[in-house]
């Protein structure tokens, strides 16, 4: 009897796991996917931008001529990557994928000119296996190169301000 109860409980458990974790339904994806962070390495004239400047750099977009800041845009705080020019955001994946905002602007301190960033995430769908897909990033209308020396879940795009 104990063996039958164990088998029955196991079948019920597996059934619940299968149906609750299934990512497909007739309508499409039915669980929340989280985009990978957008990872940027900011440089000026080929040199890493110092953290003191990065801390005051803002990422924003426009909605009907109103400026909206990407609130989670910040420098890397991991001691392995501080002072390496890393900035990142995860919110931009939701903004680009779901809200279809693709054009962003980097505003720097020190009266540096504002740069344009084109970021295109595809919204999760059955075609993307219910995941956000990040397409190559453009910086001032040029494809941003990827620094392949870093191994993250997302590419690390190098933005070299001239």
- Strand pairing partners for 115? 106
CATH number of the domain bearing residue 125:
2.60.40
Please tell me whether residues 98 and 120 are part of one structural domain.
yes
Is residue 118 within 8 Å of 102, Cβ to Cβ?
yes
Please tell me whether residues 93 and 20 are part of one structural domain.
no
* Residue ranges for the chain with pLDDT beneath 50: 2-26
Please tell me whether residues 5 and 39 are part of one structural domain.
no
Please tell me whether residues 26 and 36 are part of one structural domain.
no
pLDDT given for residue 79 in this prediction: 58
User: Cα separation of 162 and 156, whole Å?
Assistant: 19
Both tokens of residue 121?
Answer: 């995430």
Please tell me whether residues 40 and 67 are part of one structural domain.
yes
Range of the domain at 125: 32-161
Please tell me whether residues 133 and 144 are part of one structural domain.
yes
User: Cα separation of 159 and 137, whole Å?
Assistant: 10
Please tell me whether residues 59 and 95 are part of one structural domain.
yes
pLDDT given for residue 15 in this prediction: 39
Please tell me whether residues 152 and 99 are part of one structural domain.
yes
Residue 122 CA to chain centroid, in angstroms?
11
pLDDT given for residue 87 in this prediction: 93
Is residue 121 within 8 Å of 93, Cβ to Cβ?
yes
Domain total in the chain: 2
Report pLDDT digits (tens) over 146-156. 999 887 888 99
pLDDT given for residue 82 in this prediction: 62
Place of tokens 């996917």: 33
Please tell me whether residues 89 and 129 are part of one structural domain.
yes
Please tell me whether residues 39 and 116 are part of one structural domain.
yes
Please tell me whether residues 87 and 144 are part of one structural domain.
yes
């Amino acid at each position: 009897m104990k063996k039958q109860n164990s088998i029955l409980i196991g079948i019920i458990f597996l059934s619940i796991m299968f149906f609750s974790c299934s990512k497909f339904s007739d309508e499409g994806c039915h669980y929340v996917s989280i985009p990978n962070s957008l990872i940027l390495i900011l440089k000026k004239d080929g040199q890493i931008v110092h953290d003191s400047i990065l801390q005051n750099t803002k990422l924003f977009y426009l909605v009907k001529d109103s400026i909206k800041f990407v609130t989670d845009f910040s420098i890397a705080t991991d001691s392995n990557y501080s002072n390496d020019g890393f900035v990142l955001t995860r919110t931009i994946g939701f903004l680009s994928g779901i809200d279809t905002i693709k054009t962003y602007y980097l505003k720097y301190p020190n009266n540096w000119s504002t740069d344009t960033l084109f970021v295109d995430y595809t919204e999760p769908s059955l075609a993307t296996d219910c995941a956000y897909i990040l397409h190559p990033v453009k910086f001032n209308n040029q494809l941003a190169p990827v620094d392949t020396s870093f191994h993250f879940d997302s590419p690390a795009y190098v933005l070299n301000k001239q």
